[in-house]
Amino acid sequence: MVKKKKDTVEITTVSEPTLIETADYESNLRANLEEIKKYDGVVGYILRNTTSASIDLKDPTKIIDYAILSSTAFDATEEVSDLFKLGRVKNIIVNGKNVRMLSLTVEENKISIFMENNADTKKVLEKLKAS
Amino acid sequence: MDNEVYAYALKNTLDEIQKICPDIKNAFVLTKNRELIARDEDTPEKTITRAVSAFEEMLEKAQAIGGVEDVTIEGINGRLNVSRLDEIYLVTVTSKQADLEYVNTVTHVIVPTVLRLLEKLSPAPLKKNPPTPDIEPEEPAVERDEEPETGWVEEPETDKHQEQLEPTEKSETILPETPVNQLIVEDLKGLLAPSDTVRIDSNIIEEWNELYEDWTIEEADIETFSGKSTRCKVKPIKDAKLDGKGKIQIPSKVQLTLDVKKGELVRVKPAVE
């Protein structure tokens, strides 16, 4: 009984700072996404995690199409990565004729940024990694 | 030439590419309809089938962004790239230490060159539309009776072209199909570098000059994958380190016009019309 009580105490003390960190991280990520949205050529983003999703696209008529594309890209990548032993996926870039999609998973968040083909992908990636 | 020969040629190309780029662990070629044409020896067909099925939906949904031109998945142990080259998809898997610029140069130069060569030897079996009559009628009508010794030229096709051309009688200068090269952008700097001239591999210019015997190629059309294009004067690369490596040196002014940067791919074709 004494041991169990001790364990509980330990868990509580550990989980509190983690929650704060996660909240900080989330708000930081969202702030960075808002900033990325202002970059030249960026047309919007989709952010999904286990509990919520945020979609911000300049053209709202594309929301469903882009959301499905983002989701299928993550699914396909998971399988292909296993097949070819690519390891944990750092990022996915899908260059379309009109738009480029950059997707990556950070912690539990699946992020897809949509941009014009001439947008600075590297700059976007760096900003996301800085979250 | 049937699909089998086509596949054999592409398979050999993939094997050769892997010899010069050992960092390419897997390579295979698919049609636009995702049918397997050729694969390297190390990639089991089963793996490819599973990969194609994994990609299937994504490639369909990518219509939302205008259809897939290129996909790159970067993992901590390696990278997978799917490139669309005209009628095919080339898929390569490289190790994490691969020199991507080198890999891209090799794959994006050799494979399209082989594809063009195969198309020249025979109408491409992968293309449903046969070439139009004003493309490749190389043999003048007088030489029609002379049988080619090698049998590489497909007589029935040639005849068809000529029959269709005969009614027009006065045959004007008919140009071969314009070759398109995909090259990697390099900066062209220097005080004396003219701002309206790009430099490309000397062997590409030689190929163009051989193809258009009666023409001197002085200009080329450069097109980006985002659809921007411009016409510039073209000269061979002077720097021996860059020559023959699938590069195009572009002055900064033209780079701005095209909205491209060093390391990006552009399409280049001779301006002949």
Taking an 8 Å cut-off on Cβ atoms, the answer to whether B68 and A117 are in contact is no
Write the pLDDT tens digit of every residue in B9-60: 889 889 988 888 899 999 999 988 888 989 998 899 999 999 999 998 899 9
Question: Which of B225, B226, B265, B267 to probe the A interface (max A CBs under 10 A)?
Answer: B226
Residue type, B205: I
Residue with tokens 């033209």: B254
Q: Where are the alpha helices (DSSP H) in A39-111?
A: 63-83
Task: Determine phi and psi for B156, rounding to 5 degrees.
Answer: -55, -40
Alpha-carbon gap: A128 to the closest alpha carbon of chain B (Å): 16
Chain B residues interacting with chain A (CB cutoff of 8 angstroms)? 25-26, 47, 50-51, 54-55, 57-58, 61-62, 64-80, 93, 224-227, 259
Task: Please give the pLDDT value at position B109.
Answer: 84
Residue with tokens 């997978």: B80
The confidence band for B72, taking pLDDT boundaries of 50, 70 and 90, is very high
Q: A99 or B247: which carries more pLDDT confidence?
A: A99
Write the pLDDT tens digit of every residue in A59-98: 889 999 999 999 999 999 999 999 999 999 999 999 999 8
Q: What is the pTM of this model?
A: 0.58
Task: Determine phi and psi for B189, rounding to 5 degrees.
Answer: -115, 170
Write the pLDDT tens digit of every residue in B247-265: 899 998 889 888 888 888 8
The length of chain A is: 131
Kindly provide the ipTM of the predicted complex, given to two decimals: 0.81
Q: B31 or B2: which carries more pLDDT confidence?
A: B31
pLDDT of A128 over the 70 cut: yes
Question: Which of B40, B73, B225 to probe the A interface (max A CBs under 10 A)?
Answer: B73
Write the pLDDT tens digit of every residue in B202-220: 888 888 888 887 777 889 9
Task: Please give the pLDDT value at position B265.
Answer: 81
CATH says B3-121 is which class?
alpha beta
State the Cα–Cα distance between residues B100 and B107, nearest whole angstrom. Answer: 10
Q: Hey, how many other C-beta atoms are within 10 angstroms of the C-beta on A80?
A: 26
Q: What is the CATH number of domain B181-270?
A: 2.40.40.20
Mean pLDDT of chain A: 83
B108, B185 Cβ separation under 8 angstroms: no
Write the pLDDT tens digit of every residue in B114-159: 888 887 776 545 544 433 343 344 444 444 444 444 434 444 444 4
- What's the CATH fold of domain A2-129? Beta-Lactamase (3.30.450)
State the Cα–Cα distance between residues B127 and B135, nearest whole angstrom. Answer: 15
Write the pLDDT tens digit of every residue in B224-239: 877 788 999 999 888 8
Mean pLDDT within B93-111: 87
Nearest CB to A72; choose among B58, B67, B80: B58
Give residue limits of the domains in chain A: 2-129
Write the pLDDT tens digit of every residue in B116-127: 888 777 654 554
pLDDT of B170 over the 70 cut: no
